[in-house]
Amino acid sequence: MARAIALKGSKKLLNAWAFYDWANSVYSLVISSAIFPIFYGALFRVAEIEKVTVFGGEIARAPLISYVTSLAFVFIAIVTPLVSGIADYLGNKKIFLKFFCYLGAASCIGLYWFSLENIYFGLVCYFFGLVGFWVSFAINNSYLPDIAFPEQQDRVSAKGFSLGYIGSVILLVFNLAMVMQPAIFGITDIGGEVAEVKAMKYSFISVGIWWILFSQYTFLHLPKGYKREGQRTNIVLNGFKELKSVWKQLGTETRLKRYLGAFFVYSMAVQTIMLIATYFGEEEIGWGTDSERTTGLIISILVIQIVAIFGATVTAYASKAFGNIKTLIVINIIWILLCIYAYFLQTPMDFYIAAGLVGVVMGGIQALSRSTYSKFLPETTDTTSFFSFYDVAEKIGIVIGTFLYGAVAQLTGSMRNSTIFLGVFFLIGALLLVRVNRKSN
């Protein structure tokens, strides 16, 4: 007997869509932000080296991971519109969602074998973990108009965010317990490998299994997708044609164009900080023992996550009282001060304070940036194409930001100098925001 298809707007379908956040958010918290950066630094500390030979040249650990991240986001920025265009015409988004979900999850499991001896394999797994997460995230987001009516979309989107936050924190706390008390979980020093490092490797496997397991509920109920009406031509390049169409429309939308320019600049810095904050803390702060370093860094990540909720709430109230652009300008100024403060961080307490302050502004700037963009869109537009353009702009910004961060760190020999460099982007972003509401000449 065939399974009944869940109807658009039904509670079952909305819950299934939102539940994908529960499935995949563990990647962004456990691997991108917390455990993997600590593990990556531990590999170099145990080997008592700061540089590794790859592609025929020596490179320090921080620039190396920064460059690989940049390369991954170049790939993501190219692949996402390609997949979007093909899926729209074939009417089967779900097969692409599954593919990139499984690619990301398998790559997480593959990180178990990450070592300096297998550096190429490890970096490939790191690369495709990023690709799997971000492309599947974009595909799942594109389902929103298909599964929810306009009046339901804000609510179900918020529900997805909440589920993702709760799920990722649950798994991170479990992994933290495993890393800090490996003996309780039967993990011991084996063959010269420290038990805590072994536990980190197991955490990578737990992320992959969690991601695959909990995504099944989403896959069970989401529709395949819907074929685009009309003649199916230029299937492969259709996503890029839509981006080009949006670019042309920006010519007549001065305020939107100015805002996008400002967003591109400051988002470059925001996203870079999100990706490298733990690497900075792992390398530049005097934690004491390895155990204290691991505990301190994970606590810092949890502080950012928890404070971010408060930050998003405060930012929402501020935008109502003072307007979106003025609020964003103030947030950019706070970021400038934070970048200067980061240059002088020395102790764990310094880092905890910075983490709390980052949480306040991190929680608000992303949500407010997206809602501001939405408010500036023309009345009669293809909003899907405009948001695809927004996402690609964000990814290109990440490419530039992470590459420049790695380059400055490599050329100057210090990640601290890169924080000042990022502060310059926030300054430029604030100045560009001042122009947004000015009348055109």
Q: For the chain, give every domain's residue range.
A: 8-230, 237-441
Q: Which of 95, 94, 79, 98 is nearest to 23 (CA)?
A: 98
Return the minimum-mean-pLDDT range out of 93-97, 258-262, 275-279, 344-348. Answer: 275-279
Q: pLDDT tens-digit profile of 317-366?
A: 888 788 889 999 999 999 999 999 989 988 989 989 998 888 888 867 87
**Contacts for 201 with CB less than 8 Å, ≥ 6 apart:** 39, 111, 112, 114
pLDDT band at 234 (very low <50, low <70, confident <90, very high): low
For the cut 70, the answer to whether the pLDDT of residue 1 exceeds it is no
Chain CA centroid to CA 142, Å:
17
**Contacts for 64 with CB less than 8 Å, ≥ 6 apart:** 52, 54, 123, 406
How is 319-351 classified by DSSP, letter by letter?
Answer: HHHH-HHHHHHHHHHHHHHHHHHHHT--SHHHH
The pLDDT value given to residue 287: 84
Chain CA centroid to CA 74, Å:
14
Percent of the chain whose predicted confidence (pLDDT) is above 70: 87
pLDDT band at 394 (very low <50, low <70, confident <90, very high): confident
Tokens of 131: 């690709």
Tokens of 112: 């178990």
Which residue(s) pair with 52 in the sheet? 59
Domains 8-230 and 237-441 share a fold: yes
The pTM of the full predicted model, rounded to 2 decimals, is: 0.79
Q: How far apart are CA 440 and CA 253, in angstroms?
A: 10
How is 115-181 classified by DSSP, letter by letter?
Answer: -STTHHHHHHHHHHHHHHHHHHHHHHHHTHHHHS-HHHHHHHHHHHHHHHHHHHHHHHHHHHHHHH-
DSSP letter for 32, please.
I
Q: How far apart are CA 397 and CA 150, in angstroms?
A: 29
Q: How far apart are CA 382 and CA 380, in angstroms?
A: 7
The pLDDT value given to residue 51: 83
Residue 131: Cβ-neighbour burial (10 angstroms; 0-12, 13-18, 19+): buried
The pLDDT value given to residue 439: 63
- Please report where in the chains the tokens 């455990």 appear, as a residue: 35
CATH fold of 237-441 reads Growth Hormone; Chain: A; (1.20.1250)
Q: How far apart are CA 384 and CA 142, in angstroms?
A: 8
Return the minimum-mean-pLDDT range out of 62-71, 72-81, 176-185, 246-255. Answer: 246-255
User: Could you tell me which CATH class the domain 8-230 is placed in?
Assistant: mainly alpha
